[in-house]
A and B are shown apart, each in its own frame.
Chain A
Amino acid sequence: MTSEKTKTEAKTKMLKISLEKTGLLFEKLSAAGKLYIPVDGAAGASFEKWDGKAGEANKFEMKMSSAHNTVKSAKDVFFPQTEDLMRFRVNGKKIEVTDCSDYLNNSNNSNNSDVARADNSAQNEKTANNIILFGVRACDVKSFEVLDRVFLSEPCDTYYKARRERTVIFSMACAAPRETCFCTSFGIDPSCPEGDVSCIADGKYIYFEIKSEKGERLMSSLSDMSDISDILESIGDSDPESVASRRREIKRRAERLPLSGVSTEPFGAGTTGRYFSSPAWEELSATCLGCGACTFVCPTCQCYDIKDFDTGESVVRYRCWDSCMYSDFTKMSAGQPRLTRLERFRQRFMHKLVYFPENNDGLFSCVGCGRCLASCPVNMNIVKVMKKLGGGAGD
């Protein structure tokens, strides 16, 4: 939300960097904070901590993914899949309670549950104050707004907030959408993403536009570094035009996507009655496996469970992602509220398209990133739901 407020005040200020030098820039950025970039891997692209080193002839061990959106979103930088909250230990007649969130305040005696894992899931941050997320697509930037609504509204989630506030987002205009993308349906402009620093790349350069104070602060701290002037250049006279033409090109590309026509018009606040009892749910949910693939790759899904783990000598209370598709989701002593697969399936989509906008000024909790379309084992997804229900089946 900080980025929202300050956006308007920030002066339009542009810089550029030649593409071959991005590795050098990453080196500088990683000195200013923990840097995450999308990199290609065996399972497709994912956000990874940058640990490449500048080597011979501008070859870098770790390259930014040139291709598509990441398989998982970047949400686990703020909201890791599992996170220790506190630890209880019985000592004689006393119970000792330790706050496992120490590391959020940069203290040195954090409780480290698994060193290897913590390192790539943004846990146990000690050395660097900042987290820098580089190359976030427009859809994902929008998804942070959805997450902020949930976690930063009262009662505020301090774990999320601590990480969120320290994070500087370098967004990247999306020149490589997938056939599964439909962000434009949610009014997102892939060519002009929000974020603290908004970037756009053409064949030769990446252009930076500083959009918030946070971004401004980081960029000016960079400019204090030595030989940064060799890397970051000011823009020339012809550059604004090439940026504009690149933006037009990206927009054109987005318009041609097969799913660009999906309409959110029929959904939103106040439509519960129209869809809740629709007979279409039966057919839509018939082959859903009830796995959590869609929820876990989703950039806006934010449900979690809190559990206790008995280590033998103490108890660790931790939280982990949960999925409304699971049969034991929000299970209580009296059982679970949604007994059938149909009810659970309906909940997920109704929440994204109806309940969330109802409570959040019309903001949908789907950003059209297309991840669930790509990951679903049975290819049953939100687009099919929207087309079926929006196409009149609901009336």
Chain B
Amino acid sequence: MQDKQINGYRPKIAAFCCNWCSYAGADLAGGNRLSYPCDVKIIRVPCSCRVDPIFVLRAFRRGADGVIICGCHPGDCHYTSGNYHTRRRMSLLFSFLDYLGIERERMRVEWVSASEGAKFAAVMNDFVSEISKLGENRRLEDVRCKEQTETRLSEER
């Protein structure tokens, strides 16, 4: 695994991947032995449009430091227009969270097709290194969900 640690910190990334394109893209990245950090936890969704803003917030609550939503390229949606809706919705959500002082860099939308295994790996590498630089998500965290992890980590150390 590539080492993306900065001062022993490893970010947690939630990646929502569309079943038809990006999830297959991730598969292809694996098949081609292209590596991307294990900090990325993939959640398969039927369409990028299935990602409700509540999902993004719940990911942050459960300890994610970054959230990335991957869908088919605009025009290629399996359901014709799902990713067009994602595009508007997430544009507004990210701008809105930025307005509340949540770092914009923590959220991203990327279009990755089933044939773009290399792009998938590159995107994830880039996103993880950016989040590593940003550090832990402190502005939109639920401390109750973090306490256990912290005690366990300190025990391990």
Question: Are A316 and B143 within 8 A (Cβ)?
Answer: no
Question: Are B144 and A113 within 8 A (Cβ)?
Answer: yes
Check B145 for interface membership: any CB of A closer than 8 A. yes
Task: For A316, list chain B residues within 8 Å (CB).
Answer: 144
Task: For B148, list chain A residues within 8 Å (CB).
Answer: 89, 311-314
Task: For A225, list chain B residues within 8 Å (CB).
Answer: none
Q: Smallest CB-CB separation from B151: which chain A residue?
A: A313
Contact count band on B: under 10
Check A114 for interface membership: any CB of B closer than 8 A. yes
Nearest Cβ on chain B to A216's Cβ, whole angstroms: 41
Task: For B143, list chain A residues within 8 Å (CB).
Answer: 112-115
Q: Smallest CB-CB separation from B152: which chain A residue?
A: A313
Question: Are B149 and A309 within 8 A (Cβ)?
Answer: no
Task: For A312, list chain B residues within 8 Å (CB).
Answer: 62-63, 145, 148
Question: Are A313 and B149 within 8 A (Cβ)?
Answer: yes
Check B155 for interface membership: any CB of A closer than 8 A. no
How many residue pairs bridge A and B at CB < 8 Å? Answer: 22
Q: In whole angstroms, what is the CA distance A284 to B144 when docked?
A: 42
Contact of A309 among B62, B63, B144 (CB under 8 A): B144
Question: Are A114 and B144 within 8 A (Cβ)?
Answer: yes
Contact count band on A: 10 to 19
Check B147 for interface membership: any CB of A closer than 8 A. yes
Task: For A311, list chain B residues within 8 Å (CB).
Answer: 142, 144-145, 147-148
Q: Smallest CB-CB separation from A89: which chain B residue?
A: B148
Cβ contacts B27-63/A at 8 Å (1 or 0 each): 0000000000000000000000000000000000011
Task: For A114, list chain B residues within 8 Å (CB).
Answer: 143-144
Q: In whole angstroms, what is the CA distance A159 to B148 when docked?
A: 24
Q: Tell me the interface secondary structure of chain B in the complex.
A: helix
Q: Which of B114-157 contact A (CB under 8 A)?
A: 142-145, 147-149
Nearest Cβ on chain B to A346's Cβ, whole angstroms: 35
Q: Which of B62, B144, B149 has the most CB of A within 10 A?
A: B144
Q: In whole angstroms, what is the CA distance A309 to B143 when docked?
A: 12
Cβ contacts A311-341/B at 8 Å (1 or 0 each): 1111010000000000000000000000000
Q: In whole angstroms, what is the CA distance A309 to B147 when docked?
A: 14
Task: For A313, list chain B residues within 8 Å (CB).
Answer: 148-149
Q: Which of A273-326 contact B (CB under 8 A)?
A: 309, 311-314, 316
Q: Smallest CB-CB separation from B62: which chain A residue?
A: A312
Q: In whole angstroms, what is the CA distance A312 to B63 when docked?
A: 10
Q: In whole angstroms, what is the CA distance A180 to B147 when docked?
A: 45
Task: For A113, list chain B residues within 8 Å (CB).
Answer: 143-144
Nearest Cβ on chain B to A318's Cβ, whole angstroms: 9
Q: Which of A114, A115, A312, A314 has the most CB of B within 10 A?
A: A312
Q: Smallest CB-CB separation from A116: which chain B residue?
A: B143
Q: In whole angstroms, what is the CA distance A89 to B142 when docked?
A: 18
Task: For A111, list chain B residues within 8 Å (CB).
Answer: 147
Task: For B147, list chain A residues within 8 Å (CB).
Answer: 111, 311
Q: In whole angstroms, what is the CA distance A164 to B58 when docked?
A: 37
Q: Which of A46-64 contact B (CB under 8 A)?
A: none
Q: In whole angstroms, what is the CA distance A79 to B144 when docked?
A: 20
22 contacts between A and B (CB under 8 A): A89-B148, A111-B147, A112-B143, A113-B143, A113-B144, A114-B143, A114-B144, A115-B143, A309-B144, A311-B142, A311-B144, A311-B145, A311-B147, A311-B148, A312-B62, A312-B63, A312-B145, A312-B148, A313-B148, A313-B149, A314-B148, A316-B144
Question: 3 shortest A-B CB distances, which residue pairs?
Answer: A313-B148, A311-B145, A311-B144
A→B interface (CB under 8 Å): 89, 111-115, 309, 311-314, 316
Apart from A311-B148, A313-B148, list 17 A-B contacts with CB within 8 A: A111-B147, A112-B143, A113-B143, A113-B144, A114-B143, A114-B144, A115-B143, A311-B142, A311-B144, A311-B145, A311-B147, A312-B62, A312-B63, A312-B148, A313-B149, A314-B148, A316-B144
